[in-house]
Structure 1
């Protein structure tokens, strides 16, 4: 299992980085759209759709909704102040606040949404749609002046999430004693959580030294810490829904890594939260 995970990671990471820096905005949007449709397909299990045809329709409808939203934008410009994007990013802030309460109160919180398919579908839309717009908005950051400015920001967020996850795993294995959320994800510990946060801060420091992230240090650290915390919440939230659905992995599309949602669960929270803080709260434009 570990060998296949490492092989897959070594193959996927260069492809992701190449997509960030080499694809034009439209190509990047289409790739992100496909990822979101696959995520919607997997979310169908969380919503209680057992049949393949129902989940296919869910993925198609999610894709059509995102395409419709894109066509309502003027000339493929993804300004954060456009209503479609701003509302999506603010909705992410609200949703992940609600998700935090759901995780903290689980399994008691599940009594309010366990039997409601519309609510579970809404949770999926609030996870996938803001993630889509967070990805596109960060990629478009100062695109006219520098085609790679947004790619650096997205790479930064991804490294934060990967670093937090790796740091949490290593510190948890070495020092983990106190469970973080035993009713949701028994393997996670407070020691691992703090180790992941420290790893994220180290990445932020190194990235600021060696890459063109020209924002005030207070802004960068604030966005970094909140995004790192959000990434943990995204992971815990997906674990909660998988536990309710009685499944270990969201899918099997990625050898050794499970499904698409298993790989982007932390990013679905970190990306829109980071984009909202950077671009709307701190106004870094």
Structure 2
């Protein structure tokens, strides 16, 4: 067998260098090759190393090309090679962008607080709403100041926002409207104590904050006033949560067509269908078994309205966050972001659910 790892035979009258230096005079040319005293090099099982051989220097068997002729040279690795999954590994599945364990844990904890306060003392739940409003206003005004330099006065917003929720629960819609007007007026007056530069910008943001957070949250307090108020509020919370869950589950699994890519690239049309479907089923069950004098077909309409308003509310806050250049409004809730990141779909859904419930079963 020819040793393919050896070089070409030396020319006549010329001695070829060996791996270890000069080679002693070899046998005559007509001697058989088997009688040579030089041992055959041991071919390793794997590819030959790039460095020198154990004896020092580089042997004739190690050249620039591959060790064997049928071996394919390896291309140099790219600077940043793209990762390729191993053939025996399944393709990676989609992963959620947030810590699901933390999100579920925080969600369950918040749900326990809501349910406990709802069915123990109504006034405690009103306090929970007011506290959420104050924290949400603080997050919103802080981000406006950090990213846009807009200084909406937080003191009249926080005090007036909490009073709006209480006024809505105690005096109904008239109390809510009156408290909103007084809060907006307090924002205008409070800002007068500072230099006039940016006055219009700051008070406009303040009045927007009054409407966006405490006024919409007041409808939750209005839902609480009837004799079956806790069940109405629970229905409202269930519909909103189920809508968000249906949109997430269906969109994550089947989402292909973007719903509003410029506003929220993660939302899909399939997710919207999932939100509507889940919310309509939940609405029919809630109206049939939780709300007094409710009928299942009313729950279908209630679920449809809740799913649409929740989606629009989520898109609305996404538009605000895109304008501010942020991902979340805060970091208070692990896995969720801030309070406003949880109120985004609840706030616009509250007046829709309140109005439909009043039309279907009355306000008492």
TM-score range, shorter chain: 0.7 to 0.9
Match of 1:110 in 2: none
* 2:176 pairs with one of 84, 102, 124: 84
**RMSD (Å) for aligned C-alpha atoms:** 2.8
Match of 1:38 in 2: 135
Match of 1:29 in 2: 126
Find the aligned partners of 1:237 and 1:182 in 2 and give their Cα distance.
13
1:32, distance to aligned residue in structure 2 (A): 1.1
Q: 1:266 to 1:117 in 2, by over 3 A?
A: same
Q: 1:141 to 1:249 in 2, by over 3 A?
A: same
Check the 8 A contact 1:46/1:242 in 2, yes or no.
no
Find the aligned partners of 1:61 and 1:184 in 2 and give their Cα distance.
31
Check the 8 A contact 1:42/1:250 in 2, yes or no.
yes
1:7, distance to aligned residue in structure 2 (A): 2.0
Check the 8 A contact 2:288/2:299 in 1, yes or no.
no
Match of 2:335 in 1: 256
Find the aligned partners of 2:292 and 2:126 in 1 and give their Cα distance.
23
Find the aligned partners of 1:169 and 1:77 in 2 and give their Cα distance.
37
* 1:175 pairs with one of 238, 254, 266: 254
1:67, distance to aligned residue in structure 2 (A): 4.6
Whichever of the two has the greater Rg, that structure is 2
* 1:166 pairs with one of 221, 241, 245: 245
Deviating more after overlay: 229-238 vs 41-50: 41-50
| 2:346 equivalent to 1:271 | no
| 2:141 equivalent to 1:62 | no
1:282, distance to aligned residue in structure 2 (A): 5.5
> Which structure's relative contact order is higher, taking Cα pairs within 8 Å and 6+ residues apart?
1
1:178, distance to aligned residue in structure 2 (A): 0.8
Post-superposition CA distance 1:185-229 (Å, at most 9, x none):
000000000111100011112223432442355544333322221
Q: Which structure 1 segments of 5+ residues have no match?
A: 89-114, 143-148
Check the 8 A contact 1:33/1:63 in 2, yes or no.
no
Check the 8 A contact 1:45/1:245 in 2, yes or no.
no
Q: 1:72 to 1:5 in 2, by over 3 A?
A: closer
1:85, distance to aligned residue in structure 2 (A): 4.8
Match of 1:284 in 2: 362
| 2:241 equivalent to 1:241 | no
1:128, distance to aligned residue in structure 2 (A): 1.1
Check the 8 A contact 1:164/1:199 in 2, yes or no.
yes
Secondary structure of the residue aligned to 1:79 is helix
Check the 8 A contact 2:282/2:303 in 1, yes or no.
no
Secondary structure of the residue aligned to 1:77 is helix
Post-superposition CA distance 1:252-277 (Å, at most 9, x none):
11111110011111001101222133
1:83, distance to aligned residue in structure 2 (A): 5.6
Secondary structure of the residue aligned to 2:262 is coil
Post-superposition CA distance 1:230-271 (Å, at most 9, x none):
111111111110111111111011111110011111001101
Check the 8 A contact 1:39/1:261 in 2, yes or no.
yes
Q: 1:10 to 1:278 in 2, by over 3 A?
A: closer
Q: 1:50 to 1:23 in 2, by over 3 A?
A: farther
* 1:122 pairs with one of 202, 207, 211: 207
Match of 2:220 in 1: 135
Q: 1:209 to 1:24 in 2, by over 3 A?
A: closer
Match of 1:99 in 2: none
Check the 8 A contact 2:164/2:179 in 1, yes or no.
no
Q: 1:277 to 1:85 in 2, by over 3 A?
A: farther
Q: 1:46 to 1:273 in 2, by over 3 A?
A: farther
Post-superposition CA distance 1:20-40 (Å, at most 9, x none):
211232x22222111101010
Post-superposition CA distance 1:4-31 (Å, at most 9, x none):
1122223222122112211232x22222
Alignment: residue pair count: 245
